[in-house]
Structure 1
Amino acid sequence: MECSWKAVLLLVVASLAVQYTAIRTFVAKPFTICRIPKHTGCGPGLAVTPCDPRPQPVTHILILATTRSGSSFIGQLLNQHADIFYLFEPLYHVQTTLINTSLRIRHPASSPAATADGRRLLLGAYRDLLRSLFDCRLHDLETYIKPAPDAHRTQRLFRRGASKALCSPPVCQESAAAPERWEEGECVQRCGALNLTLAARACGLRRHVAIKTVRIPEIADLRALVEDPRLNLKVVQLVRDPRGILASRIDTFPESFRAWKIWRNSGRKPYNLDASHLSATCEDFLNSAGTGLARPGWLKGRYMLVRYEDLAREPEKKTEEIYRFLGVAVDSNVQRWILNNTRGAGASGNHKYATVRDSAATAEGWRLKLTYDMVELVQNICNLTLAQLGYKMVTSPEELRNVSVSLAEDKTFLPFL
């Protein structure tokens, strides 16, 4: 007997609802190995969760971005700070557990009602986990990590090596070299399985918590967290010229962007070209930045828009502005990292998330990679977004290749204080 697509879709949504309800019920129960009142602090011999010796107020920082927009770069500006506990894309585990890709929820070939239901489920799970992680309840991640951790230890935390705190004592006892000198893969090799209890303790020892995500489309999706009195959430939304995002995605994800790569290499536009990812990115930027720049009361003191091009062009100045908005002083670790990682000849190694580069040249390097026809298509799709964020259009191949003239207009985006 054949099933209609509507019946199949209803089954998928129902399955997601059951999974999420079960997971939420589980993580809502407090998990402690040994509960000690907060005023007693954490000692080196205590395996305690929760345990929060940090002076108040704690600043909870969320970097809101999209793929290939420079989010790894801005993440490292926070990761290097001695007082910040940084996590790289922990929501990856939620996405892979509940559904293969959030794009299927946001842009499936299905009914609007089912799309909205699936999107709400995923965003609800994202918000619940973010709230737990900002409170240093890292054990709540265990529900989403596959295979499940054994005795709170796992080898499967996504991009663990991108977090300095997870590669340093007390989480990692390896002391042969400073973590900042390791390549990302070395962290796992040197430190072994991640002990989430020790990770939770390390989180409690840092004054601030920062998380980077490319899995939440718009700032409006975070309103429940922004208004949560238990959090002191500040959101830094990172945007980038969509033309640069496209060029970076083609190079980074060649299988997913094969048609685009064929077009770039051959000069002939394939009949099966899919531009939905591009229109979705530009729509998200337009809606999210539009909300933030409208300065609604619930975002007062909580929102800052940053263009990647501005950060790449003047990293020291822009980093100071970001930290000023966060209410945190820039430390020597951050300053040293900027000097060492923004004036290189190119990306460090072959890793697609490398951050050692000539940042100013990288920001508009896409102009030498995309054909004019490709750029023209992006401009047609994203014209409103380009205008809103202050990116100039090009009207000829010559104008495109003239990299001596920046396409990022001098436009100031002040934090909403």
Structure 2
Amino acid sequence: MRCSWKSVVLLALASVAIQYTAVRTFCSDPLSLLCCGRRRAPHATPPNCSLRRLPRGPRGGPEGAGGPRGARTAAAVTSSPRHAAAAAPPSPASSPGRRTHILILATTRSGSSFVGQLFNQHPEVFYLFEPLYHVQLALLPRLGQSRNPAERRVMMGAARDLLGSLFHCGLGSLEPYIQPRPARHATDKLFRRGASRSLCSPPVCEAPLEAKEQSLVLADEGECVRRCGRLNVSVAAAACRDQRHVAIKTVRIPQVSDLRALLEDPALNLKVVQLVRDPRGILASRMETFRDSYRLWRLWRATGRRPPNLDPGQIGSVCQDFLRSVATGLAAPPWLRGRYLLLRYEDLARSPLQKARELYGFLDLVLPPAVEAWITNNTRGGGGDPASRQKFTTARDSAANAENWRLKLSWDMVVYTQTACQPVLGLLGYKATFHPRELRNLSHSLVEDRTFRPAF
């Protein structure tokens, strides 16, 4: 049988095509050694090799992805459209055993200490209270509340790096910010160590509080320091690695967009709970707590005359940060979808158990009976208990406290604040008041019934 040269060429091309298809199919097989094994050429990028083919580290992410170099490597892989779907962090619903990292994003006097305790009371959560305090103190105290964009970028860069390390239990990254610097990894200067049960319990504390004295961790945080002595940062890091989840509370991150790099890190399963409160309530609480800083506001309330040198930014910056951050969160950009929950303080104060269950559901965690009992005991008021009168305590009648700012601010101050914060009040469902009698009538709530659900 005779064949023309054209037929030979066509047969050769068909043979090459068949071999190429076979190689592609073989390389897409997860067990392929040609694709991801040692036989590939040096520096060659294997086809269809996603992060799922890499050796898994002890925390569920690719080995080496915990540090900055690993994060950059993972980011480089996911930047390719071909690899995007395979490299995207799986949702907790599809990975129930995966470690969850929780960040409570709040501002001062918004109820963040209480929300933090919802995780601090969980036996499988390693909880840190305001570790970014040390970053703020080291970089100059004024940077923490600065409204200068350049200064805020300095603070945020250091804060993001530290948070990334802390979520991977790299507590040693905190040591350079603690003053004086820990000697042999031991310090007694960690900010409010007593607010964390993890740092006041074995193995971190060799002389832990007894069960009947656990309330002292909240009522008298100094008792933890007196009983436990200096904190060994290395031991605390080991205890962190033994826990299933890590939760951190901070009031030093202005907006959720400041966390984008962490939220996009495939080595982190990070979820953000943004806690907000009526700015009028925040102002009233700060006036009582930070008396020196808010001295002019207190003078205005006492005299009825607004001081000409009053700093409107003390409450205006809160409203601007809320507006930008919440608008971003509710818009649910791809990098934030399924990782952001908006929580109003007033809703939590009125229905603490219901909101706690919703919060745990968002995080795919089980709400233990011990946490439910703690919520019940700490939201019914303290009566004659001295702890209930402390300004930083979490034990109080939460429902009665939700709108009691209406009895603490003068009418002029309320009008001034709600005018300056009008956009964010509307976004969050807080009603403006238009008459002094309406302001004082606590039977009429100024909080609209709103449901904020995370977008997936």
Letter in 1 for 2:322: F
Are the equivalent residues in 2 in contact too, given 1:237–1:304 (CA < 8 A)? yes
**Of 269, 272, 295, which aligns to 2:306?**
269
Residue 214 of structure 2: aligned partner: 180
Which residue is 1:248 aligned to?
285
Distance 1:321 1:369, change over 3 A: same
RMSD between aligned residues: 2.0
The yes-or-no answer on 1:223 pairing with 2:260 is yes
In the alignment, does 2:446 pair up with 1:407? yes
Question: Residue type matched to 1:181 in 2?
Answer: S
- Unaligned ranges ≥5, structure 2: 1-55, 59-66, 68-95
Q: Say whether the 8 Å CA contact 2:388–2:396 is kept in structure 1.
A: no
Scaled by the length of structure 1, the TM-score of the pair is 0.83
Cα distance in 1 for residues equivalent to 2:408 and 2:209:
41
Deviation at 1:268, TM superposition (A): 2.3
Q: Pick the aligned partner of 2:120 from 69, 73, 79.
A: 79
The 5 Å alignment of 1:12-411 reads 56-102=97-143, 106-107=146-147, 115-178=148-211, 180-182=214-216, 183-345=220-382, 348-411=387-450
Q: Report if the CA contact (8 A) 2:201-2:209 is conserved.
A: no
User: Counterparts of 1:170 and 1:103 in 2: how far apart (Å)?
Assistant: 33
Identity among equivalent pairs (%): 58
Give the counterpart letter for 2:133 in structure 1.
Y
Instruction: Give every structure 1 segment of 4 or more consecutive aligned residues whose post-TM-superposition deviation is greater than 4 Å.
Output: none
Is the partner of 2:387 in helix, strand or coil?
A: coil
Contact 1:348 1:357 in 2 (8 A): no
Equivalent AA in structure 2 for residue 187 of structure 1: C
Number of equivalences: 361
Against the structure 1 CA distance between its residues 103 and 86, is the aligned structure 2 distance closer, same or farther, given a 3 Å change threshold? closer
Q: CA deviation at 1:391?
A: 0.2
Mapped partners of 2:136, 2:154: distance in 1: 11
Instruction: Please say if residues 102 and 215 of structure 1, whose CA atoms lie closer than 8 Å, have aligned partners that are also in contact.
Output: no
Q: In the alignment, residue 271 of structure 1 is paired with which amino acid?
A: P
Letter of the 1:414 counterpart: R
**Following TM superposition, by how much is the alpha carbon of 1:399 offset from its aligned partner in structure 2, in angstroms?**
0.5
In the TM superposition, residue 350 of structure 1 has moved relative to its aligned partner by 4.2
How many Å separate the matches in 1 of 2:202 and 2:363?
A: 26
TM-score normalised by structure 2 residue count: 0.76
The whole-number CA distance in structure 2 between the counterparts of 1:308 and 1:176 is 30
Q: Deviations over 1:313-353 (max 9, x none)?
A: 00000000000001110012211110110001468344321
CA distance in 2, matches of 1:79, 1:167: 11
Q: Which amino acid aligns with 1:94?
A: V
* Residue deviations 1:376-412 (CA, integer Å, cap 9, x gap): 0001100001000000010011101011111110011
Distance in structure 2 (CA, Å) of the matches to 1:97 and 1:176: 31
Q: Which residue of 2 aligns with 1:26?
A: none
Shift of 1:133: 0.3
Note the alpha carbon deviations across 1:202-244, whole angstroms, 9 max, x for none.
1111100000011111011100000001100000000000000
Given that 2:136 and 2:144 are in contact with CA atoms closer than 8 Å, whether structure 1 keeps it comes out as no
Greater shift in the superposed pair: 181-190 or 372-381: 181-190
C-alpha distance after superposition, 1:91-150 (max 9, x if no partner): 00001101212256x42xxxxxxx433222211100000000000010111010000111
User: 1:56: how far off?
Assistant: 4.5
- Which of the pair has more CA radius of gyration? 2
What amino acid sits opposite 2:214 in the alignment? E
Aligned residue for 1:212, secondary structure, equals: strand
